[in-house]
Amino acid sequence: MKETLFENEVFDYALYHSTKSRFTELAEYLPLCLQALREEGLPTTMEFFMTITESDESFSAYLTKLRERQMKDLFMPVDERMRIIESYSDLHDRLRNSVSKLRRIRAERLPLLAEGDAIIADYNQIESISKKKATIRINVKKLTDYYLQVKKIIDAMTELREFQTKNGLPDVLNGELTRNNGRNINRYSLQMLIDEGFTPELFAEVAQDHVTLKSK
């Protein structure tokens, strides 16, 4: 059986922790937001949660419907009508932040469970989703081929350094190759040679100072 260099899956621990942390933060908001609804006499069921978080305007639309139902077909003095309108407006303002957080909980798909007349975070699902998201499938053949191509470069660089050391030549990989043109000394790196179009003529020109034969 052929030995493989890489596994077909890798686990990204940083992604796992960031996903779980984000869900956990949302889960901590949930009971506080539901308590705010409860204190105003509003339901905290899954059905109600879905109703008021469907869009940015859902909660306002829900309160408007309640207010209109309360005032429909009833005669009341103008002052009383204004009091009711203001009362619903104040209710909306008091719950604005809590409902906004509930919308975020829904938008970011925090796993939820219905529990009686309330909802709770599903921590088993949080764990499962976090692990699934952090498990990354790998194209092993493509990665192996890529690794072997890069390894050729690494091996060639190692061989080049050994050759340079053995023969007292400058390390072109570190930009130590120099050429004195009589006016100044130019320094060359491997990348510069590549950028200028690596040819025998170019290399002979920039490396000649280091391979000149001594006169007899």
CB 131 within 8 A of CB 15: no
Report CA torsion sign: 87, 88, 89, 92: positive
User: For position 125, what pLDDT does the model report?
Assistant: 97
Q: Are 189 and 183 in contact (CB under 8 A)?
A: no
Cβ neighbors of 71 (< 8 A, separation 6 or more) are 81, 84
Residue 212 near residue 168 (C-beta atoms within 8 A) = no
Virtual torsion, Cα 117, 119, 124, 129, nearest 10 deg? 150
Domain boundaries, the chain: 10-136, 138-168, 169-216
Tell me the torsion sign for CA atoms 121, 123, 129, 134: positive
- What's the rounded Cα separation, in Å, for the pair 211 and 88? 90
Task: Provide DSSP, 160-189.
Answer: HHHHHHHTT---GGGT-EEEE-SS-EEEE-
- In this prediction, residue 94 carries a pLDDT of 96
For residue 2, what pLDDT is reported? Answer: 59
**What pTM did the predictor assign?**
0.69
pLDDT computed for residue 216 by the predictor = 59
Q: What is the pLDDT along the chain (216 residues), one digit of tens a residue?
A: 456 888 999 999 999 999 999 999 999 999 999 999 999 999 999 999 999 999 999 999 999 999 888 887 677 788 888 888 899 999 999 999 999 999 999 999 999 999 988 899 999 999 999 999 999 999 999 999 999 999 999 999 999 999 999 999 999 998 888 888 778 888 888 899 999 999 999 999 888 888 888 765
Helix axes 78-107, 13-39, angle to 10 degrees: 160
- Are 26 and 106 a contacting pair, CB within 8 Å? no
pLDDT, position 1: 46
β-pair partners for 10: 136
Structural tokens at position 77: 């003095």
